[in-house]
Every structure is written in C-alpha cells, then in structure tokens.
Structure 1
Amino acid sequence: MRTVLSTDAIRSSDKFGPWCDLLRATYCPVEGSRHGDMPFEARLEVFEVCTMPASRLTQSPAQYEICGPAARRSGFDDDFLSLGFRTRGVAHTLQNGRSSIQKPGDIVIRELRSITLSIGEDIDEYNVIVPRRRIENFLGNARIYTSLTLEAAEASTTLTNSFFAELIRIRDRLCPDTAARMGSIGIDLIVASMAERLAREVPKPLHGTLVVQRAKAYIESHLGDPTLDPDQLAAAMGVSLRRLQELFKEQGRHISGWIWERRLDTAAGHLADRRSGHVQIADLAYGCGFSSQPHFSRRFKDRFGVTPRDYRERAKSRGGNQRAAAVNGLLPYGGPASETGQGQVARP
C-alpha cells in the first residue's frame, strides 16, 4: 500500500482543518467537523486488488459532508460505485435518503457523490471501486440499495468479507489473468449478498425489481443455450410472459434485446481477451448462444460497427486484457488502474 494522505507531516496542534484541506485539494469538495477535542489522526493508503482500485482509511472521529459529484478530482464518475468494508469502529452513512450504521464486519455500497459520513470512533475501513454496471446489471438502479448495510451476522456477508480479505492479503501473488477472474467472483459475491438483503425486506416497490434481477442472473448463466428466449425465461421465473415483459419495460428494457445485448457483450469480451485468441470465431459464437457464425457476424457488426475478426485484431493492437476487462465491467477502458494516477481511489 502507498500512503497518499496523512496527518503525520502536519505541524499543527489542530490537524483536522489541514486534513480537510488536503481532501479538498486532492479528491473532492468536502466540509468536515470534529467529534470532541481529542487529537486527530488520519491516513489514506491506496493499492490495487484484482485490477480494481482500492484504499484503506484509518482515522479519528469526525463528520464529512460531500455535496454533488465527487468525480472531478477523484478520477471517477457516476459509472462507478464504492464497496466499503468496515474492519474497526462504527460509522453512520446518509445517502439517497437512506440512513444506516456500519459496524465492524459490515459492508456498504456507496455512490461517488453527495453523502454524509459520521464517524463516531476510531475507524479502519477498506474501499474498493467497482464499475456500476457490474452491480446494476443484476440489482437494478444503485439508488435502491446505496447506503444499505450488509450486516456482519449474515452468512453471505461473512463469506464475502473473508473472500475480499484474502484477496487483499495475497493480491501481489496473483497473476493478471487469475486476478481478473478473482475480482469478478468477488463482485458476484457482493451481488449475491445484496440480493439476499433486498429479498429479505421484500417491499412492494422492489418486488418487480427483484424478479428482473433473478431473470438477469438466469440469462447470464444460460447465455450459451441457443434456445433461451422470453418464454423459457418467464417459465423459469414462475411468472407469465406478459408480466415479465411489463417488468422489463419498467426498466426501459425488452427481454429479447437484453438477451442479445448480453450475448454480444460477452462475445466482445472473449474476442478482446488474449486468453481466447486460439478460439475460432465460430466456436466463440456458438458458445455465446448464436445459431450460426453469419448470424453472429451480422449482429456483432450492427452493434459494434466492425466485424468480429476486425474487433479482435484491433483489441490485440491495444492490449487484449485491458479491453477484455473493460468490456466485462472490471476496468474503464483507457488503461489499467495502476496507470490512472493516485487520484483513482475510494474517498472517505
């Protein structure tokens, strides 16, 4: 880990004001206030875990308020979310009208924008930045569940915590390909834990969203089945086709369109991944559920503007693993997280 901000070098009896100045100058507009008059100490360290930018924040009690997007200086925008893993201390989060408390072992998802964070005691928290679409593809709009706490007492939260803790511990020993796969598994665990949390509440406004979440998860696991269609999906979900169509339409989607979109995005990821360079395009097309290579090529060109073969060649010239990670929602295309500068870390 590399320390990017710290109160160690601040030569002042009151370090909190200068610490807030550092945050404003480096990351985002923030207003802060102290809890009590005890000596204030803070440290922000950055690192990368499985192609995902991450940070560790340790600090004394305080309260922060961020108004508006925090992306201008942080290097991230609304296309990203922050996963917070609390290892010590208690904090209170207010975002999108939802108030929640995080204790040691809890996990929370936050947007990188307006938020109030109240830290009542010394804390230690890890934050991992993930692509928003990797979460929303399964759970719907993030504003439904930002600031919703995954409690440490839940078995799924315990499993997720253990997985990420081990990833952080051994991150430097993983080869790039393995790291990318493990990062994807970690995000899947977060999705599963949050889906369980949402399902437990079952508020009426979320019922339709949960059905669509389940349907999208089913699609992901059956993309290679060429017979997958809206009728089969509705039967698997236990609802009528008409009802499922209505639920997708509420989210601005059509069932068939979503199935083909996911097949094409998955195929594009394989074409751009150098690990799949030996796979014939026809085999890749069949593996993504297309009935023939011409059918695949026609739809692919309509979507991406180039043939599958040209897409693969262009990806090779740009660096296959980076592009594959971007298509699969692990990185913003343009370079690995390690090249984006120290600004691309989770904010406090």
Structure 2
Amino acid sequence: MQTLFSTDGVHPKNAFRLWREMVCERLVPADLRILDDVPFQGRMDVTGIGPLLISHFSHTTMRTEATADTVRRNGRHVRVYAIMRISGQDTMQQGDQEAVSRAGNFIVVDARPAVFQTETGSALVLDLPRERFEAMLGPSRLFSALTVSADLASTTLARTYIQELVRVGDQLTPDASARMASIGSDLLMASLAERLAQEVPRSTHGTVTVQRAKAYIEANLSDQTLDPPQLAVAVGVSLRRLQELFHERGRHISDYIWERRLEVAARRLIDPACAHLSIGLLAYGSGFTSQAHFARRFKERHGLTPTEFRQASRQTSTDARPRKRPARIQGLI
C-alpha cells in the first residue's frame, strides 16, 4: 500500500487540522472531531486492486459525521463502503439502524447521513459499486449499518481473503487484479447475505432468501453440478419453497442459472484476457457440460454461435480503433 498521509513528524498542534483537511479535501467532506485530550495520531495508506480501492485507516479516538449537506456535496451515491475493523471499535448510526463493530467484524454503509464514533484502532475501508450489491441483496437500506460478525465462517473467509489480497496485490497482473477484486466483492456479498438471513422481518425473508440464492449461484457458476436441489440445500430451504420464491418473481431457477452462465460466457468471449482460451474451455469454465450444449444455448440466446460472436466482437474492436496518421504527418504534430 502507498502512504497517503501520516501525522508522523507533524507537530501535535497541527496534526488533527492537517488530517481533517486531508480527509475533507481529498476523500469525503465530513465533520471530524477529537473526543479526548490525547494528542491525535493518524495514518492512511491506499491501494488499488483492479477497480477496487482499499484504504487502511489507523488513528486515535475520533467522531465523524456525514450530514445531509456533506453527503450531497460528496456526490458518490453510486458507491457503498465496507468497513472491516482490524483493531479498536466503531459505533455508528445511519437512518434508524445502530451498529457496533469490533475487531474481525465488518459493516457496510451507503451514501446517506451517518455518525461514526471510532476508538483508537485501525480498519480497512473498501470502495464498492452499490449497483452490484443491490442486484444481489436488495436496496442498500436492508444491509447498511448491519454488523456482520466475525463469528460467521463466511466473514472470516472474506476478511482473510481481503487482507491477503492487500498483501499480494502489487504482484498481480492487471487482469488478475480485476478478477481477484471481483471475488473479494462476491465474498463480502455472501457474508452479508448470510447475516441478513439471521434477523430479517418475515415479510422480507423471501426476498433475502432469493438474494442469498443468487449470491450462491454467482460464486458457483463454474460448478457443472449446480442445480436447483443443490441450491436449495445451500440456502437452507426446501426445493419447493425456493421454486415458489423464484416463481413469485417471474423466474425459474434453472432458467436463471443458465442465463447467468450465458452472460458470463459472453463477457469472456469478448474479454481480451480470455482470447487465448478455446471455446470448449470457456464453455466448461462457465458451467456447461459440453461444447455442443453451450453452442446450442448460446445461439438460441444471441443469434450467433460462440465463434461468430467472438469474431464479431474482434471486428468491432478493430473498426473502433483510431487510424494511425502517416508517419510523415505524425512527426509534424
């Protein structure tokens, strides 16, 4: 990680003022206050792994408030933030929800007014796409400011993975970074889905169950044995009940699984990082049991065979490239 700011070597009288300016001007506008008489100390390190921005905050006790005005000025309503506590404790309020997060726990907050009181300690903060989380878990208000406990095995898995990703991130290629970051987001969503299922109102339980099922499908698309009975066992409901929940939303479980596999396969067919992979390998990696089955379903969906789809994408990319100027003209510009 790269150090963005540190109070090391800064006179104690100026430390908190400089920290506040750094946070408000370079990160997000907020009202920051010291809560005790201890000289303020703080450090922030950042790293980018694929599209995932991860910050490591460590500082002494502090209160942070994002008001309606500062949220409006921030303008980042398309993001949510996972705060993974490493040491110390957070107490936060957002809307009508209050959460306490200790070492090993994490919480997710969205771009709404909130108040944080943080004891001396450190945390990783992950900047995440709100749309992707809401597609799997429903509106962010359902999971915002909800403590996801370290007692859950899925939380331990997500936390360990993210910490290791930070440690080795600078050794990954750009393509690997993007893929590993996506896996990290999926692990966080799976852990959130498990936590949501624990204490949700009965009226929303069906929605949460479907979202948990979708998160499980995303994490296991390449498993060729994935089917509705296996999915029902994974989310802890009967197959009949799971089928009813999908039918209520106008879907069949099997159709949804195949649609997601086809969407993933289509993305890989046009991904330059997958250009060296044969159609057969892409088919198996997307959960299809045979290349013929893949080709038939793909053509039914897209009107082209996988090979034709890949070739059309390459031709489009070639046509979209700007033409090079003649060397003699380039030299004059």
> Which amino acid in 2 is paired with 1:238?
R
| Cα shift readout 1:109-134 (whole Å, capped 9, x = no counterpart) | 22244321111x21211112222344
Counterpart contact for 2:206–2:245, Cα < 8 Å: no
Count of aligned positions: 309
> Do the aligned residues in 2 keep the contact of 1:69 with 1:77 (CA within 8 Å)?
no
Match of 1:163 among 136, 161, 164: 161
Secondary structure of residue in 2 paired with 1:201: coil
Correspondence list, 1:233-272, <5 A: 237-239=239-241, 243-246=245-248, 248=249, 262-263=260-261, 265-272=263-270
1:7 is aligned to 7
Residues 15 and 41, structure 1, Cα contact 8 Å, conserved in 2: yes
Q: CA deviation at 1:60?
A: 1.3
Give per-residue Cα distances to partners, 1:263-288, cap 9 Å, x unaligned.
45313320232242145669857957
Per the alignment, in what secondary structure is the counterpart of residue 245 of structure 1? Answer: helix
The verdict on how the C-alpha distance between 1:166 and 1:69 changes in structure 2, with shifts beyond 3 A counting, is: farther
Q: What's the counterpart of residue 57 of structure 2?
A: 57
Q: 1:316 to 1:188 in 2, by over 3 A?
A: farther
Sort the Cα spacing of 1:314 and 1:81 in 2 relative to 1 into closer, same or farther, 3 A.
Answer: farther
The structure-2 alpha-carbon separation of the partners of 1:116 and 1:309, relative to structure 1 and needing over 3 Å to count, comes to farther
User: Which residues in structure 2 correspond to 1:246-325 (within 5 Å)?
Assistant: 246=248, 248=249, 262-263=260-261, 265-279=263-277, 296=298, 299-300=301-302, 309-314=311-316
Q: Which structure's relative contact order is higher, taking Cα pairs within 8 Å and 6+ residues apart?
A: 1
Structure 1 equivalent of residue 178 of structure 2? 180
Greater mean alpha carbon deviation, residues 234-243 or residues 2-11 = 234-243
Cα 1:136–1:38 shift into 2, 3 Å: same
1:159-217 residue CA offsets vs partner (Å, 9 max, x unmatched): 22222222222222333444333333322322222222122224213311122114424
Q: Which whole-Å CA distance do the structure 2 matches of 1:143 and 1:254 have between them?
A: 27
Q: Structure 2: any 5+ residue segments left out of the alignment?
A: 322-333
Is contact 1:27-1:70 (8 Å) kept?
no
Give deviations 1:90-110, integer Å, cap 9, x for gaps: 111212321101111111122
**Matching of residue 151 in structure 1 with residue 135 in structure 2:** no
Distance 2:296 2:78 in 1: 34
Aligned residues: CA RMSD:
4.1
Q: Tell me, what secondary structure is at the counterpart of 1:150?
A: coil
Which one has the largest radius of gyration?
A: 2
Aligned-pair identity in percent equals 33
Could you give the per-residue CA deviations for residues 41-62 of structure 1, whole angstroms, max 9, x where no partner exists?
2222111235521111111111
Match of 1:194 among 192, 215, 227: 192
Check 1:104–1:218 CA distance in 2 against 1; reply closer, same or farther (3 A cut). closer
Distance 1:300-1:116 versus aligned 2 partners, 3 A rule: farther
User: TM-score, normalised on structure 2?
Assistant: 0.74
Once the two structures are superposed, the pairs formed by residues 97-136 of structure 1 within 5 Å of their partners are 97-119=96-118, 121-136=119-134
The whole-number CA distance in structure 2 between the counterparts of 1:193 and 1:84 is 14
The one-letter amino acid paired with 2:23 is: L
Query: Deviations 1:232-286 (Å, cap 9, x if unpaired)?
Result: 999974227555332x26xxx8979966763453133202322421456698579
- C-alpha distance in structure 2 between counterparts of 1:97 and 1:310, whole Å: 51
CA distance in 2 between partners of 1:176 and 1:36 (Å): 43
Q: Identify unmatched segments of 5+ residues in structure 1.
A: 320-348
